[in-house]
Amino acid sequence: MAVLVTGGAGYIGSHTVAELLAAGEEVVVVDSMVTGHRSAVLGGKLYEGDLRDAEWLEKVFSENDIESVIHFAASSLVGESMKDPGKYYHNNVYGTLCLLEKMVQHNVKRIVFSSTAATYGEPEQVPIEETSRTLPTNTYGETKLSMEKMIAWFEAAHGIKYVSLRYFNAAGAHESGRIGEDHRPETHLIPLILQVPLGQREHISVFGDDYPTEDGTCIRDYLHVSDLADAHLLSVKRLREGKDSAIYNLGSGNGFSVKQMIESARRITGHPIPAAVVPRREGDPAVLIASSEKAKRELGWTPKREQLETIIGSAWKWHQAHPNGYDS
Ligand code: NAD
Ligand code: UDP
């Protein structure tokens, strides 16, 4: 019996595959490699293709005895989603529909879904709880909310149980140093900061310092990618135990400002990392911090790598050893 991981060659997917393998699970990865990397998949069976290719997906489901699905495959760039919403509806919403239909045909009844803090939009209160209003401010978040809802309707009609995990900011790299973050283009703060000490960037741009926060820069909740991966294994376990479908936030509950992140990276790398304040990035809420109490209570999840030093330190180890990502 195998766990099917869609998008398993991507950043969070590859770290989850590593944890599944370490737990002795049989793993089948499907990935189109649009943003993934073959060498990020440390084991299991790999099928290269697109979820929207029904004939190819049929082969994957008929050749393997799949009992649960972990669904990471998606397009996830906020800016791109605003310029090309059609791409996001097609890949994310239609892609998920293709997957769910295949699960129905093959009687696969469990799915763990990668959702996002972007489903909340501008928060009414912080820390954000799962019962908070969901009002996405970009197409990416809107498609993720639609995917969550679609999965819930498939539960009503077909009995597919789900756990939707709303991640805050995934960060860091696997402790082995073998896998890490390699997004192209890179838009995330930590890898961009680390490009400065790597000599790939002159300075880091700070997107606005006039937010209503203590130092004026945006506050985010950074969570180690391996802690995130652990939550997926616990979600599969929850579904195997026959428990109800659920939605959980995943964050550390700690907020750090952009300036604090840069300062911490200076300490860790020993590099001065020049910073320049530039205008705000459109659509960035001032503060996003998760309440993950529900996940801790119901999944028994305990993040083990919460220190900022561990998060940025593991990313630094990966980027130093792989300055050109998986091409290094
Ligand atoms: P990623 O781009 O590294 O991984 C996504 C993977 O899915 C890639 O390997 C890509 O090739 C694959 N893929 C995309 N469309 C596909 C398709 N139609 N068929 C087959 N494979 C396809 O992204 P990531 O940062 O690892 O994020 C994984 C998931 O987590 C995404 O769904 C994303 O929306 C969500 N998420 C990420 C973050 C974050 O901080 N990185 C935060 C919240 C939510
Ligand atoms: N950010 C920044 N400079 C950069 C990239 C990001 O100031 O070059 C800020 C961004 O405005 C946000 C935070 O860093 O407040 C985290 O951004 P990221 O894109 O990593 O994640 P997001 O919170 O958008 O999912």
> Model confidence over 50-60: pLDDT tens digits?
999 999 999 99
Cα 103 to averaged position of ligand 2 atoms, centre (Å):
36
Among protein residues, the one with the nearest Cα to ligand 1's atom 16 is 73
Query: Distance between CA atoms of 189 and 181, rounded to whole angstroms?
Result: 12
Which residues lie with the beta carbon below 6 Å from any ligand 1 atom? 6-7, 9-13, 30-36, 50-52, 72-74, 76, 91, 95, 114, 116, 167, 169-170, 183
Mean pLDDT for back-to-back runs of 10 residues, the chain (328 residues)? 98 98 98 98 98 98 98 95 96 98 98 97 95 95 98 98 98 96 95 98 97 97 98 98 98 96 98 97 90 98 94 97 94
Q: What is the reported pLDDT for 271? A: 98
Give the pTM. Answer: 0.98
* 76-84: Cβ within 8 A, 24+ apart: 76/116, 76/140, 77/140, 77/185, 77/187, 78/118, 78/138, 78/140, 78/141, 78/283, 79/187, 81/138, 81/139, 81/140, 81/143, 82/138, 82/139, 82/282, 82/283
Q: Which residues pair with 238 in a beta bridge?
A: none
Are the CB atoms for 238 and 294 separated by under 8 Å? no
Active-site residue list: 140
Are the CB atoms for 298 and 238 separated by under 8 Å? yes
Which residues lie with the beta carbon below 6 Å from any ligand 2 atom? 169, 187-189, 192, 204-207, 218, 220, 258, 281, 284
Q: What is the reported pLDDT for 196? A: 98
Are the CB atoms for 70 and 112 separated by under 8 Å? yes
Query: Distance between CA atoms of 285 and 298, rounded to whole angstroms?
Result: 28
Query: Distance between CA atoms of 49 and 275, rounded to whole angstroms?
Result: 40
Gyration radius (Cα) of the chain, Å: 19
10 Å Cβ neighbour count for 266? 17
